[in-house]
Structure 1
């Protein structure tokens, strides 16, 4: 199936008049280095906690606390591009090195070799494009992690996926009103 996909010109990192990926990455790095900001996040031993931040150029930003063993599950960002950086602790990101169609499917079989994994410890971050599918988790059995995330445009939705082997299945679409 071939679907039209909005992508920027080759080599471009700007999307829809918003801040480029480098600006989002710089913002999350600076916020992750702000000790007073990081200390302001209440940490819950049982669930993720978050504070909404003012991101650059109309972007949406979040400070997130991750209890030991917690994670997001597989998801995308509804066509937004973004960046995140770990401020404390360590996070693991597993992602797919493949551009998936954004609509019109419920189940996809992934090709071999699309899996990527990276460890992001305090101060490390990464930017990603609008078709990024990943899961992020705190692998520590004892220690919280804290991270800063920024997205542009502000998240229009998030798609949640389940994965069994090489099969990725769309399970749910979440809307911003559900995160308030």
Structure 2
């Protein structure tokens, strides 16, 4: 029987040619397990700290330090797909298991059963699509957490939300120059 070789397939990319969410997650996990990179982040006991990283394929990436008791608040990523992984400590992600419209509303009543919560530590992470709404928290009372985040396309904006029970309300739209 002759030898049959299947040609190597190039890695999957997003429909726009950029890195897929799984490629962003692979990057975040690899970076989260780089002790020199993680140690390069200055930690502040009062507020989050961050360093911009070179992400794969033109993506935007960040190394973020989370003092005990800090979090992001509810937000989305302006239509970008993304991923993040915990490097040290433990982060809690609270998310909505529903694709929300990104335009044309200011207040939305959420259906029952859309809330999800996961805890991430030790290089564990998660990838998400362009309509993902979540908040990330360091619920520890005494331990910093550090994580790596990557987004493609680079974040065009972030929408900030408040939440009271099932009601999600758009509060602000931030532009990149506000967090760079």
Class of the TM-score when normalised by the shorter of the 2 chains: over 0.9
**Which residue number corresponds to residue 70 of structure 1?**
70
The normalised TM-score by structure 2 is 0.92
**Which residue number corresponds to residue 6 of structure 1?**
none
Corresponding residue pairs, total = 169
**Which residue number corresponds to residue 50 of structure 1?**
50
Any stretches of 5+ residues in structure 2 without a counterpart?
1-11
**Counterpart Cα distance in 2 of 1:13 and 1:161:** 30
**Counterpart Cα distance in 2 of 1:102 and 1:70:** 26
The normalised TM-score by structure 1 is 0.92
CA deviation profile, 1:43-71 (whole Å, cap 9, x unmatched): 00000000000000000000000000000
Tell me whether 1:134 sits opposite 2:134 in the alignment.
yes
Q: 1:178 to 1:15 in 2, by over 3 A?
A: farther
Q: Secondary structure at the match of 2:31?
A: helix
Q: Secondary structure at the match of 2:77?
A: coil
**Which residue number corresponds to residue 26 of structure 2?**
26
Any stretches of 5+ residues in structure 1 without a counterpart?
1-11
Tell me whether 1:121 sits opposite 2:121 in the alignment.
yes
Q: Report how far residue 15 of structure 1 moved.
A: 3.9
Equivalent residue runs for 1:29-178 within 5 Å: 29-178=29-178
Q: Report how far residue 179 of structure 1 moved.
A: 1.3
Q: Secondary structure at the match of 1:126?
A: strand
CA deviation profile, 1:71-104 (whole Å, cap 9, x unmatched): 0000000000000000000000000000111100
**Which stretches of structure 1, 4 residues or more, deviate above 6 A after TM superposition?**
none
Higher CA-based Rg: 2
